[in-house]
Each structure stands twice: as C-alpha cells, then as structure tokens.
Structure 1
Amino acid sequence: MGPGRMLFDFIAECLGKFCTEHNVDKNTEIPLGFTFSFPLIQQGLDRGILKVWTKGFICSGVVGQDVVQLLDEAIQRRNENKIRIVAIINDTVGTLMACAFYKCNCRIGLIVGTGTNACYVEKTQNAEMFDANHKRTQGDKEHMIINCEWGAFGDNGVIDFLRTPFDKQVDEGGHNPGHQIYEKCISGLYLGELVRLILVDLMQKGAIFANQEAYSIQEKGKFKTRFVSEVEADVPGTFDYTDFVLNEIGIRNAIDEDKACLRYICQAVSTRAAQLTACGLVCLINKMDVKDVAIAIDGSVYRHHPRFHDMLYITMKKLLQKDIEFQLILSEDGSGRGALIAAAATNSKMN
C-alpha cells in the first residue's frame, strides 16, 4: 500500500541479494525475465503498462506506467549488477510455458491462488485486438498466447444472476468495487471472507453456534481461506481440523451438528469456485477447438485445497464433449520457470 517506488526498490534489493549469494559476476550482463501478475497493456516483449492493481495492491505511482522501466530504474539506483530485463510476462503465461517446455500439448495456463486468471494458445489470425501498429502479416507466427485477464469477467453484469448478497458484500468492502467479479467468486483472497460473512449472518439469526459470542468473527478477514481447506480436510465424521479452526476464531465447545454445518458452508463456497473455474476452462477448450489439451495450473488454492483438483476435473468432464481428452497438471513454480524460459528464448534470439 506504499509508494510504487518502494515496491520496485524491494524487488531490486532481492535481485541484488540473490546475485551476491550466488557469486554472480558484477561485470556480466544478466538477462532477466519479469513475471508481473497484474493487468497490463503489453506494448512489446519488454514493455508493459499497468492498467489497474488487483488482489489488494494499491501502490501509488504505478498505474499507467511501464513497470519494466520502473524496475529497471530501481536496479540502476542500486548500481550493483548489470541486469537487463528482456521479457515481461503474466504468471499464467509463465505457468503455461513452464509446463509446455516438456508437455507439447499444453495450451492453457491457469492460476487459482490469491487471484485467478488464465491464458491460452490462440491462432494468430483470430487475435482481433491488434492496433494499427501491430497488424498481422504473412510472416507472423501461426499461434500466440492470449492473456485472458478472466478475473474481470462479470464486471459488466453478465454473471450477476449467480451472485449472492455475500458476494456483493465482499465486492463492496474491497479496494476495487465493481471490478474482478469472477475472481471474487473463485480466488483465495475472497473465499474465506465469503464463508465468514455467511457464518456471521447465520449466527445473527441463531441458526448456528448459538450462545457463542465469538467477537473475532465479526472482524473482516478473520476467517482465512486456509481455514476452508483445513475444515474440508477432516475425514467425514471427525472434526479435528475443524476444532482447531473454531479455536482460532474464538468458538469453543461447539456441538458436532454445528461443525458439520460449517463444513457444509465451506464445501458450498469451494465447490462453486471449482465449478466456475471449470466453466472458464471448458469455454477456452471449446474456443480452441482441440481434442487433446494439457492445462498447466499453479496457485495456493489449487495446491492446498483437498478437493479442488477433483471438483475441477469432475465438472469439466461433465461439460466437455466426450471425445475431448484433457489433463490437469501442476506447474511447479510456473511464474519463475516461465520467466526463465521467456528470458532464455528472448536472449538467444537477440544473440
């Protein structure tokens, strides 16, 4: 929430520490791939203008600026290493590239973590939004990667039919009301808060945890998204993790019936998130019109929620035509490895 300059100075400091720890020659120029997981107007492989902050970031002096230039200036201010930023990518693109490096049918990159977004491989001839300076020519590559920024799906009201009063409370109580509507139904920044708002409503009505004060649950953000995963990790009929979560939010000596209700609420919120994610993926697969596709996935919700992978797979299986094969693949450190591949490929082409 501070000045943008401080953010980029921090990144440059981390780069400097890394170079020192690994004894990088200060006289050797290092090509850098930069993963920046926010909506950009990408004007080149190494030029991206921040359109809007998401996921709770509100650093000043960055929106409308070239983030590559801001990081480069921060690196220059330290004047420690010769680092040249050769490519800027989105984390979904990095996730796709990291997986496609060894899985040639990987055509979709998905993030389900603090936020959510996806990218996919499209025929260049179908890319309709090139401006006059970037017209397609016969020499263009046949395919390109499109960053969907699908977290903003629904900003125009098209999914209002599935939003609940709790969704609207989450939206109105955030930094960017009216924006990232799809993301607010799916991602880790919001799932715990959705559960908390439902709990508060039911407790006020006396429908759950009767006679429990639990003042902390009234505070925004007190029911963390990891609590959703922990509650659902309990073996049916047991409440070991649930007891731990309840203790964290100040509810003690709860009856098993109420604990089961809490699990049901968590399941309802997470199941909807997985199903909505599946809907987006199915749309992309149908758009590409392919019969065999691997989907590279990264992000804390996908990694740590005990049922998210299975719910995603089951829903996609229901919605896709039966002759379409797909695989859901965890992309290990997609942001880092994808940026590495982008930098290596770009540097190789330059040389």
Structure 2
Amino acid sequence: MSDPKQKYPEAYEICEKFMLNKQHMDEIVNRLTKEINMGLTRDTHPRATVKCFVTYVQELPTGNERGKYLALDLGGTNFRVLLVNLINDRDIDITGKTYAISKELQEGSGIKLFDFIARCLAEFCKEHKMEQSNTPLGFTFSFPCKQVGIDNGTLVAWTKGFKAEGVVNQNVVELLRDAIKRRGDFKVNVVAILNDTTGTLMSCAFNHRNCKIGMIVGTGSNACYVEKTANTQTFDGYLSSTKPNMIINCEWGAFGDNGVLDFIRTSYDHEVDKQSINPKKQIFEKCISGMYMGELVRLVLLELMEKEAIFKGQTSQSILIKGKFDTSFITEIESDQPGSHRNAALVMDRLGIRTNNEKDLGCLRFICETISTRSARLAACGLVCLINKMNVKDLTVGIDGSVYRYHPNYHRLLTENMNMLLKGSVKFELVLSEDGSGRGAALIAAVCAK
C-alpha cells in the first residue's frame, strides 16, 4: 500500500493519535501488571480498578468428564439454554435454543427478567423431557460479579446496556433459583456461576491441557487466567487450600477507570465515553471492544466529512446518528481483497452515501484498520501481562467473541504484537474457543458435580 501519510494527510493526522508504539505498549503492560497486583491483594483490593475476582474454579477439565449437563448463558441481548452431553473426550453433543431479551426486560424489574429466564428454561426442559431430572446447571453470567462461592455471585454493576432494577448487589444464583421456585413446574440443580471468560478457558482446556488464559473480544472485553492459589489473597482459604491453582476473572475492561490510560486516549475516546450509558467506566473495554469500535470510526468519518476531506459533497442522515456505523462494517471493509473496495462501497451505500471514489474508500479502510489495529495491540498488551504474571513458557490462550471470530486480521495482529512484546521468549497458541459460555459452563457443572 502506498504511504497513507502522503495519500490521506487529513485522515492520517487524526489516525496517528490512535497509533501505539512499542514504548506505549510496554508502559501499558507495566501499568496493567500493577493494577492486577492491587486487585489480588487483600489490602488494596477495595480501591483496585482491575478487581481480579476469585472464581472458585480451582480445577480444569481432565477430559474424563461424562454425562448430561445444562448451561444457561446470559451475557447480552440474547440468552441461551443448552443441553450438553459429554460423550467422550472428543465428542460433545450440544442442543440449544436462543431467546431474545427485550429492551423492556433489560431495563425493567429484575424479578421480571429472571421470571422470563425461568420460563424459557422450563419450556426447554419440557421439550427435552427433563423437568424432574434435577440436572446440574452451569450459569454463565457475563457481567462483573463478586463471587463468594462457586454458586454465589453478586452483581457488582450492570454493563452492555442492561440496567434491570433490584439485581445489583444481589446473588444472581439466588434470583434464578427463586424464579424457578416461583414456577414450581421443573427442577434443575444450579451448581455454578461463571462468566464467559472462565467458560472460554474451560472449554478450550478440555482439548488443550495447557490452556491457561481465556479472553473475550466481542461486544465487551475481559480475560481470566490461572493464578497460584497462594497469590489470591481475597480468597479466604488462600493459604490453607490444598488446590494449587485458582482461575481469576480479571474484569480488565475497567483498567484505566482511574486515569492510568489517559496517556493513550484520544478526544474520540472521550466522546464515546461521554455518550455511553456508563461514563468514566470500562475505559480499557471502550478502546478495544465491538460495542465501541464502529462508533470511533463514525466520529473520525464525521470530522473528515465536515472538513470535506472525504466523500466531498455527500451528506447522509444515517452517519449523523450515534451507533449507526456498526463494528461489523469494519470487518466487512477489511475483508475486501487488496485493490478492491467493493464491501466498503456497499457499507457506505447502506449509510446513504453512494460512491465509487477509490481514494475515499481506501481512506475509509485505512481508518478502520487504525481502530482495529489499536484494539488488537491493547488486547495483546493484556495477554502479555498475564503471560508474564504466570511466568510460563508454553501455553494456549482460548479466545472467543465476535471481533476475534469474524475480523479477518485480528488473529494475525494479536500474534504479531504479542511476539513483538515477548521477543520470542514464550511459545503460545491462540485458539478459537468453541462455545465457551455453553460448553464451558457445562464443563464447570461437570467438574463441580464430580
């Protein structure tokens, strides 16, 4: 590609603010390490931004787990109920159903939300003739939770657009059990609560024994990793536990909530944050995840259009609307073959701008690449921080989420940037985790039921 600095000077001037060099990245790794240590330490935990919650999951799958388990996966606008049959260490049979959660339920009363979940769970159990089976169930609840037991998780704060009343500071497992009790027409045994990163790690570890990290880059971003139990001071039994390891749910989306990432944030990041439903919260996530990447591109585009530096003479109502530039558009635009801008033209057409101007469409792609490259670099910093923390030389990282799954270059960008930071000192493999929130939840249920 010809030099974008020469080709799109105005766009380059803006995009340069999003570009991270190795010095920035090393500094981010150092700062995140400090925050993680604060989260793990009892005295500093209350004021830590990266909470490093104990998951109470101390054992990884052995590959010998067998039997039927239920999984309930709530982490966004849809939730799923799954029946997972662990046949042998290779074959896992999964049947499931997805249910949409309306905006009313997301923002209404918590009791109504959990009653709805219980209703769907009841329907599913009836369909599979297992109403009275009392099957062990793993509950994937992908919102920040403080756990005080494997089946006791208190919601710290809603994220991802949810704000149902009466749920924050409550044990969500109890809310689910109460809703099931209110119905009284079926029995399940809720044995564990986990978040999607823990599920991702468990699911990947079933086939990759050296999986030590689970990461999500989708609507949100978070990671968990295997820590030595002796380092997890917020766990009461941290010194007396006979089990050497503990999965820690970092909740790294909140990294930077205390200002330590301000040195790399742009005016566009501040704008996205200000317009969000949780200003000044989840700062790292807002620089990385799918919920925000498209909006960053839209803000950059708007400014360039106002300066008439791109799509000159073209206007569109759509582009003026917050959230109209979906992150999936970035994936489509970057999937164009070299020299072709077919997808880019189609995306702009959908937004009410008809153009075949090669230079403008090339510029649009450059903006998208800038935003997704920064996302991958920040995620790489996070992973390298955890790898250094565990001091391992060979591991697998299980990854899930729409950005990692569908973006054409994300895997490559992560790998390249991790190698640059680790200088080849660690052998790692990044693996797309197969349905962590479903399969992983069932595996935790299996490990607990054992």
**Secondary structure, aligned partner of 2:223:** strand
Give how far 1:254 is off. Answer: 4.3
Does structure 1 residue 118 correspond to structure 2 residue 217? no
Aligned match of 1:73? 178
Aligned to 2:243: 141
Matched-pair contact (CA < 8 Å) for 1:227–1:245: yes
Shift of residue 7 of structure 1?
2.0
Report the alpha carbon displacement of residue 10 of structure 1 after superposing the two structures with TM: 2.3
Q: Which runs of 5+ in 1 are unaligned?
A: none
Amino acid at match of 1:341: L
Q: In the alignment, is the contact (CA less than 8 A) between 2:151 and 2:173 conserved in 1?
A: yes
CA distances 1:162-186 after superposition (whole Å, capped 9, x unpaired): 1111100100001110000000011
The runs of 4+ residues in structure 1 deviating greater than 6 Å are none
1:11 counterpart (109, 117, 142)? 117
Match for 2:392 among 270, 290, 302? 290
**Does 1:40 find its partner at 2:150?**
no
Match of 1:157 in 2: 259
For the pair 1:97 / 2:199, whether they are aligned, the reply is no
Give the Cα–Cα distance (whole angstroms) in 1 for the partners of residues 386 and 277 of structure 2.
Answer: 29
After TM superposition, the structure 1 = structure 2 runs for residues 202-221 of structure 1, keeping only pairs within 5 Å, are 202-221=304-323
Contact 2:294 2:330 in 1 (8 A): yes
Change in Cα spacing, 1:126 to 1:137, as seen in structure 2 (3 Å) is: closer
The whole-number CA distance in structure 2 between the counterparts of 1:194 and 1:5 is 35
The more displaced of 89-98 and 253-262 is 253-262
Instruction: Please say if residues 38 and 52 of structure 1, whose CA atoms lie closer than 8 Å, have aligned partners that are also in contact.
Output: yes
Report the count of equivalent residues: 344
Task: Report the identity percentage.
Answer: 57
Note closer, same or farther for the CA distance 1:163–1:268 as it changes in structure 2 (3 Å cut).
same
Which amino acid is 2:446 matched to?
Answer: A
Counterparts of 2:321 and 2:394, CA distance in 1: 46
Query: Mind listing any 5+ residue stretches in structure 2 that lack a counterpart?
Result: 1-106
Residue number in structure 2 paired with 1:88: 193
The Cα shift of 1:28 comes to 2.0
Q: Does 1:310 align with 2:412?
A: yes
The structural deviation recorded for 1:147 is: 0.4
In the alignment, what sits opposite 2:135? 30
Map Cα deviations across residues 186-212 of structure 1 (whole Å, 9 max, x no partner): 111001111111111111111111111
2:357 and 2:337 map into 1 onto residues whose CA distance is 17
Aligned letter for 2:114? F
Identify the residue that residue 49 of structure 2 maps to in structure 1.
none
SS in 2 for 1:108: strand
Which amino acid in the other structure matches residue 354 of structure 2? Answer: R
- State the alpha-carbon separation in 2 of the partners of residues 196 and 5 from structure 1: 37
Instruction: Output one character per residue of 1:265-302: Cα deviation in whole Å (capped at 9) or x when no partner.
Output: 00000000000000000000000000001000010110
Query: 1:254 & 1:2 partners in 2: Cα distance?
Result: 45
Report matched runs for 1:267-286 at 5 Å. Answer: 267-286=369-388
- How far did residue 97 of structure 1 move? 0.6
Q: 2: distance between equivalents of 1:67 and 1:306?
A: 37
Q: 1:21 aligned to 2:123?
A: no
Establish whether residue 2 from structure 1 lines up as the match of residue 104 from structure 2: no
- For 2:241 and 2:381, locate their aligned partners in 1 and report how far apart those are by CA, in whole Å: 35
| Cα separation, 2, equivalents of 1:333 and 1:14 | 20
Partners of 1:142 and 1:75 in 2: CA distance: 35
Q: What is the SS of the residue equivalent to 2:263?
A: helix
Q: Residue deviations 1:192-241, cap 9 Å, x none? A: 11111111111111111111111110001100010010010001111111
Aligned to 1:262: 364
Give the superposition deviation at 1:135. 3.5
Note the C-alpha offset of 1:140: 2.8
Query: SS at the partner of 1:87?
Result: strand
2:162: which partner in 1?
A: 57
The answer (yes or no) to whether the contact 1:209–1:254 under 8 Å persists in 2 is no
Q: Does 1:232 align with 2:334?
A: yes
2:292 to 175, 185, 190: 190
CA distance in 2, matches of 1:249, 1:158: 36
- Tell me, yes or no, if the aligned pair for 2:231 and 2:238 is still in contact at 8 Å: no
Q: Could you tell me how far apart the structure 2 residues matched to 1:299 and 1:78 are?
A: 33
Alignment-derived partner of residue 201 in structure 1: 303
| Residues 1:324 and 2:419 aligned together | no
The one-letter code of the counterpart of 1:246 is M
